[in-house]
Amino acid sequence: MRNTLLGGKLLAMESGEALITLDHLRRALQFLQPVSASQYALLCDALNVPEQASQSERFTAAMLEETASLPRLPYSPDVITLLNALKRKGLDLSSTVTEPFVNLSARKGRYHSVISSVAELKALLNSRIFDQDAAVEAVSDAVMRMSWSELSDRPQAIFSFLGPAATGKTYMAQLMGQGLQGYALRSFDMTQFASEKESFGLVGLRKGFSDATTGLLTDFVKQNPRSIIVFDELEKSHSRVQTALLRMLSEGRLRDEYSGEEIDFRQTIVVVTSNLGSSIYSNRTFAEQARKQPHQAREHLLQAIRQETKIEDGHQVAAIPPEMISRLSQGSIILFNKLSIDALARIAQEQIQQERKSFEDKLGLSVEFSRFDALVRLLVLGFAPEFDTRAVKSRLSEQVYDPITDYLLAHQSAEVERVELSVDDSVTAFLQSQDMNLLPQQLATKHQRVYFQRQLVLEGQALKVLYTDVRVEKLARGEDFMDASGIQVDLPEVSFEQIAGHLQIKARLSETINLVCKREQLKAQGVSTPRGMLLYGVPGTGKTMLAKAFAHEAQLPFIACTGNDLLNESFIRKLFARAREYAPAIIFIDEIDALPRRGTAGPQADALVNRMLVEIDGFGGGDDVFVIAATNRKDLIDPAILRSGRIDLHFEVPQLDKDARRWFIERMLTRPLFSSGIDVDQLVMLTAGFSGADLQKVSREVVLLALREGLEQIGPELVIEQVNTQKYGAPLTLEDGRQHLLETAYHEAAHAVISRVLLPERRIEQVTVVARANFLGMVAYDNEQEHDYTRDFLFNLTCVALAGRAAQVKQFGNKGLDSGAAGDLKQAASYAWHAIAEWGMDDQLYNLSIPTLKERLKRLPFAARVEDRIKHWLDEATACTASLVDTHWQQIDRVAQRVLSDEIIDAATLNQLME
């Protein structure tokens, strides 16, 4: 309907009439075609006109939108009546009934010329830009879209050429200027705009200043509306210079500060180049992702660029402001690959042939090549590990023509007419034995280079240059001869077998080793390799030892540091750079919580976390470096570090299990001071929840006490007293300790048994009396399981919560009535409140949401009734729980005895005991 009414408005305005009439709408239909046949028929019927058999082209979408922006023109009364009638029939302004009629027959064959010009551009780019097929295709597609898309309030096209240095980004922009007819080209080196005031150079300086003048950018576009504007290495310009360009990208206009004139950029093509994101370009996984999933690779790269920073005016800022990245991401993000050996060889061939012509012409010597392809590949490999295209082009003559001229200078009496260059059989065999797709990565990762020798022999009047003795050697680094910030690489010798206990966590770590070491298999299944894992738990549980054993089992180099080391951004860079040398490798960061959370310690601390994130993200899928972090305080770690895709495998390292404690205790009791009558099994039971550090403290304190008291032997009483002091904070008798464990066992057993009876679908992972954080025992459930919170479910949860105290009282009488059920009572009250007050499940307060009413009424409604119904709910649950505990007491007793014996029982054992 909107198009019909705008068409009527346009016709009314053209005829100078003051109202939009039905006649205007009828005439407008001559220039519109139906979108919805049924609604179009309804509109024609309402206007009392036949459906148009023949139509003519007059309106465009832009013309109608421009009409909408003009001053309002009133409808005539009969039009208003019509609109109301149509609205009752389901037609209003939101109904898409018509669109401007386009006479396609008049445009027949027009696409041929467009296709031809784009094909010419594509051919030009392919002939001069190597190894960038995806980039050429993306540019061609964008230019094709320009040929048919309407002019909008932004430049015709916005290209962001992203990729490593010297891959052809700027050159492609220059070639676009050659291939697109009618476009002028202007390139701006953004390194020249690093000052805050440099934006004046682009957009001009207001009159009144001594050096006031028009802007280079605005003046050029004013003179050349159809132009290609290149902002080369945008990130090296000042942030204010970049933000000065935002309006150009979003509105297609920019004001020249000198003339005050608004310059129209809507016919320009904007090209931005950037080398940011260098940390991920050399990664094999990212290169593969860019080839197979370019959209995901673009997002990955943009995320890396968002995290890049620079120092500006003494402050750390984003290398490219978020507003600029947002504008650029709305255009065409085009990724440039790191050039392959094949592409570099093609560039080198052209360079050698160009220099050959000049060499022959100036010196009068003919130059001949044998095994030319092999020679060029060898020369290119000599530029490892960086493979910089500019270096290849500028220094290639050093490898080819400099040896020749050196020989001629040293043998001035020699008569030379021609030069023959070739490689021997050993070079050919070496090149054939190498995978040219993997070799560059190997050379870069290991910091290696391909070396070779040259033999120059004069045979007659022919100077023969033979390249031979090819070999791969590691390049010397400065840090190989000086202090490398304490970053040492090791291959730990400790294995999982040498670590006592921890069976469950070792099993989980073994599974993770399979993930880390089976990269290719995961890749074949489309699964990314994890980048890191976090080992967390209370001090003294063996996290560092487990990390070393992980590296040993995975047979990967191990580089260790502490969280305090990460408080230096330079160290973070060196740490990951060193790991990259030995990749695949493991970085172990102990006490990673020393790295502050962002927003808590100032900009410098934020920069450290950002650098850490950039380095972790630099290894797509964890193919190169796997990070193991350890902490006693998981809550202090910046959430971004633990986010999915980074250090996202989180394993709690629990207190020592029985086998581990037995190992520590038996080792302690081998000392001569300890008597032979100490019951190891008794100590193992009493030390449930102890860490290795706790047991070492027990041993130390007992020995110190014996030395102070002058005791010749340490008996079981002293050891037990020290264990109790360590565990409970005050001297306890053995009976007190056992009593507490017994109460905990029956308490947790009742929770587990009644849960299995009332809620068999609720998966229990384990039942334990091992102390963790704020509880002495627990029933652990599957946290990922979802439940339908019905009234019965909530009531049953209440009974399960009350079952612990009921069992304690049944087994121990009033002695079992202690404060240990405080958390359970809080849970039970919470279930009752949710069911009755929030979710309206009570039959006497049905469908009432008390918190909502409280918010509306500014008081607590039905307070007395809510309290009464909650009391009724808890009374009913208490009676039901007592009956259930009596009925299933044998099962509760069996589970309690088993959990006392094993400390932890799993779901299978629980089910067996329930039978």
pLDDT in tens, 616-667: 886 443 457 899 999 999 989 999 999 888 898 999 988 787 788 888 888 8
Distance CA 215, CA 723 (A): 80
User: How many Å apart are CA 136 and CA 145, to the nearest integer?
Assistant: 14
Class of domain 489-652: alpha beta
What the block records as the tokens of 914 is 């329930």
Which residues are bridge partners to 651 per DSSP? 535
Domain-by-domain residue ranges, the chain? 2-107, 120-335, 341-475, 489-652, 658-732, 736-914
Contacts of 355 (CB under 8 A, 6+ apart): 396, 397, 400, 401
Angle between helices 169-179 and 133-148 (to 10 degrees): 40
Identify the H or E element spanning 847. none
pLDDT averaged over consecutive 10-residue blocks of the chain (915 residues)? 91 92 91 88 88 77 83 91 89 84 70 79 88 87 81 86 86 89 92 87 87 92 95 94 93 93 94 82 63 77 85 87 92 85 89 91 93 93 80 85 92 92 94 84 68 93 94 60 56 84 86 81 73 88 90 88 88 84 84 89 86 76 76 91 89 84 86 86 77 84 88 85 67 55 90 94 81 64 77 95 94 87 92 94 92 90 93 96 95 92 82 88
pLDDT of residue 308: 86
Residue with tokens 């780019």: 125
Which of 357, 354, 367, 356 lies closest to 464 in space, CA to CA? 367
Say what the alpha-carbon torsion angle 805, 811, 812, 813 is, to the nearest 10 degrees.
80
* Residue 115 parent element (H or E): helix 111-128
Q: Which residue has the tokens 């080196």?
A: 189
Domains 120-335 and 658-732 equal at CATH topology level: no
201: left (phi over 0), alpha (psi -120 to 50) or beta: alpha
Q: What are phi and psi of 339, to 5 degrees?
A: -65, 140
Angle at 805 between CA 799 and CA 810, to 5 degrees: 105
pTM for the model: 0.48
CATH class of 120-335: alpha beta
- Interval 497-513: pLDDT, tens: 888 778 888 889 998 88
pLDDT of residue 482: 36
CB 586 within 8 A of CB 544: no
Catalytic residues: 748
For residue 753, how many C-alpha atoms fall within 13 Å in the half-sphere facing its CB? 31
Cβ contact 595:606 at 8 Å: no
Query: DSSP assignment of 27-86, as one string?
Result: HHGGGEEESSHHHHHHHHHHHT-PPPSS------HHHHHHHHTSPP-PBPHHHHHHHHHH
Distance CA 111, CA 769 (A): 78
User: CA angle at residue 353 from 348 to 356, to 5 degrees?
Assistant: 125
Model pLDDT for residues 231-281, shown as the tens digit of each residue: 999 999 999 999 999 999 999 999 999 999 999 999 999 999 998 876 566
Residue with tokens 């550090």: 693
Contacts within 8 Å (CB) and 24+ apart, 400-407 = 400/352, 400/355, 401/355, 401/359, 403/454, 403/456, 403/465, 404/365, 404/456, 404/463, 404/465, 407/456, 407/463
- Residue in 99, 102, 101 with CA at minimum distance from that of residue 4: 99
C-alpha–C-alpha distance, residues 909 and 893, integer Å = 14
What the block records as the tokens of 365 is 């010597």
d(CA 889, CA 773): 29
How many angstroms separate the CA atoms of 717 and 687, rounded?
Answer: 14
Tokens of 743: 């109460």
Provide the 3-class DSSP secondary structure of residue 556. Answer: coil
pLDDT at res. 734: 40
What kind and span of H or E run contains 765? Answer: strand 764-768
Alpha-helical runs (H) found in 555-657: 569-581, 603-617
Burial 337-346 (b: 16+ CB within 10 A, else e): bbbbbebbbb
Pairing relationship of beta strands 764-768 and 778-781 according to DSSP bridges: antiparallel
The residues facing 508 across adjacent strands are: none
| CATH class of the domain comprising 658-732 | mainly alpha
Q: Cα separations (Å) of 752 from 71, 658, 913?
A: 75, 22, 11
- Assess contact for 831 and 839: CB atoms under 8 A: no
Structure tokens at 259: 């003339």
CATH topology classification for 736-914: Methane Monooxygenase Hydroxylase; Chain G, domain 1 (1.20.58)
Tokens of 869: 């119904």
